[in-house]
């Protein structure tokens, strides 16, 4: 069954895609909607978009911050390419207006979930990449995330999030952070969710396309939440 195209012209025009782009329609189709309507979801596009976003942000960092070495550049990228910042980029793009979600997810206010918004942003990037090529996708990603990169680059701490959290936890007498990771989906397109626990009381989760990224996201989340513990 094919996806029924909806009026996406305004979004397509904003992205430089052709009116009623089938790739864009696919990019805004969540798996919950696809299951209810027997059509393809945006999961494969998310997989591709994740790689395009990674490369585009890395390109921006290398060009604009030549003083950063590989380690610092990786930390900076991890602060930007994560569920929170990608969800905020999706919100600025007003993607929630166009997303197709299933009835159950809609009842649970799924359009407010950062994970759904972040995945949709990656899928849209992939649609742009496939229809207009890498340069167009790169320009879009860099424009969407340039402010996030600039804000993240102003943070003095250049330790990677897991190292920073471990050093702080050990200095505070809380022991070594414990990570538990589970994978969802097929092996070729898995999403990892990591839960980190520090001292028994501090806990946070993070998601990503790799175990490392999920753990990094969780470490960032628990680091931000430690002040409220």
Task: Give the domain ranges of the chain.
Answer: 9-153, 161-228
Are 27 and 46 in contact by the 8 Å Cβ rule? The answer is no
Q: What is the CATH number of domain 161-228?
A: 3.30.160.20
Q: Does 50 participate in catalysis according to the annotation?
A: yes
Integer Cα distance of 123 and 48 in angstroms: 7
Q: Residue 216: what pLDDT? A: 87
Q: Residue 157: what pLDDT? A: 61
Strand 202-208 versus strand 191-198 pairing type: antiparallel
What is the number of H-type helices and E-type strands within the chain? 11, 3
Q: Residue 152: what pLDDT? A: 86
Q: Residue 50: what pLDDT? A: 94
Output the CA torsion 159→55→68→220 (10° steps).
Answer: -20
Tell me the mean pLDDT in the region 18-25.
88
Please name the fold of domain 9-153. Answer: Ribonuclease iii, N-terminal Endonuclease Domain; Chain A (1.10.1520)
Q: Spot the catalytic one: 46, 50, 83, 131.
A: 50
Query: pTM of this prediction?
Result: 0.71
Q: Spot the catalytic one: 46, 83, 119, 122.
A: 122
Q: What is the residue-wise DSSP string for 29-70?
A: B-HHHHHHHT---SHHHHHHHHHHHHHHHHHHHHHH-TT--H
Sheet holding 202-208, edge to edge: 178-184, 191-198, 202-208
Mean pLDDT across the chain: 87
Taking only the tens place, the pLDDT of each residue in 56-113 is 999 999 999 887 777 778 888 988 999 889 999 999 999 999 999 888 777 776 677 8
- Taken as a whole, the chain contains a residue count of 229
Q: How confident is the model at residue 181 (pLDDT cuts 50, 70, 90)?
A: very high
Angle at 145 between CA 32 and CA 59, to 5 degrees: 110
Are 91 and 122 in contact by the 8 Å Cβ rule? The answer is no
Angle at 205 between CA 202 and CA 210, to 5 degrees: 135
Other residues' Cβ atoms within 10 Å of the Cβ of residue 55:
14
Q: How confident is the model at residue 173 (pLDDT cuts 50, 70, 90)?
A: confident
pLDDT at residue 227 above 70?
no
Other residues' Cβ atoms within 10 Å of the Cβ of residue 44:
14
Top pLDDT among 111 and 9 is at 9
Taking only the tens place, the pLDDT of each residue in 185-223 is 887 778 899 999 998 888 999 988 888 888 988 998 898
The conformation of residue 17, written as its DSSP 8-state character, comes to P
Q: Residue 78: what pLDDT? A: 85
Q: How confident is the model at residue 52 (pLDDT cuts 50, 70, 90)?
A: very high
% of the chain residues with pLDDT over 70: 93
Q: Residue 89: what pLDDT? A: 96
């Amino acid at each position: 069954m094919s996806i029924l195209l909806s009026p996406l012209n305004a979004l397509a025009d904003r992205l430089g895609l052709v009116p009623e782009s089938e790739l864009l329609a696919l990019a805004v189709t969540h798996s919950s909607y696809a299951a209810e309507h027997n059509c393809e979801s945006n999961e494969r596009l998310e997989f591709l978009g994740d790689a395009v976003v990674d490369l585009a942000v890395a390109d921006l960092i290398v060009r604009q911050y030549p003083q950063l070495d590989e380690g610092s550049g990786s930390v900076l990228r991890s602060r930007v390419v994560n569920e929170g910042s990608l969800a905020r980029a999706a919100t600025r793009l007003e993607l929630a207006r166009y997303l197709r979600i299933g009835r159950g997810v809609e009842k649970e206010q799924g359009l407010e979930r950062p994970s759904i918004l972040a995945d949709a942003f990656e899928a849209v990037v992939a649609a742009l990449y496939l229809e207009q090529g890498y340069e167009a996708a790169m320009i879009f990603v860099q424009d969407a995330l340039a402010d996030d990169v600039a804000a993240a680059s102003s943070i003095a701490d250049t330790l990677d999030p897991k190292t920073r959290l471990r050093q702080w936890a050990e200095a505070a007498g809380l022991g070594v952070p414990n990570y538990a990771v589970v994978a969802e989906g097929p092996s070729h397109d898995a999403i990892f969710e990591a839960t980190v626990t520090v001292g028994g009381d501090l806990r946070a989760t993070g998601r990503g396309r790799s175990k490392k990224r999920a753990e990094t996201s969780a470490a960032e989340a628990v680091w931000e939440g430690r002040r409220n513990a």
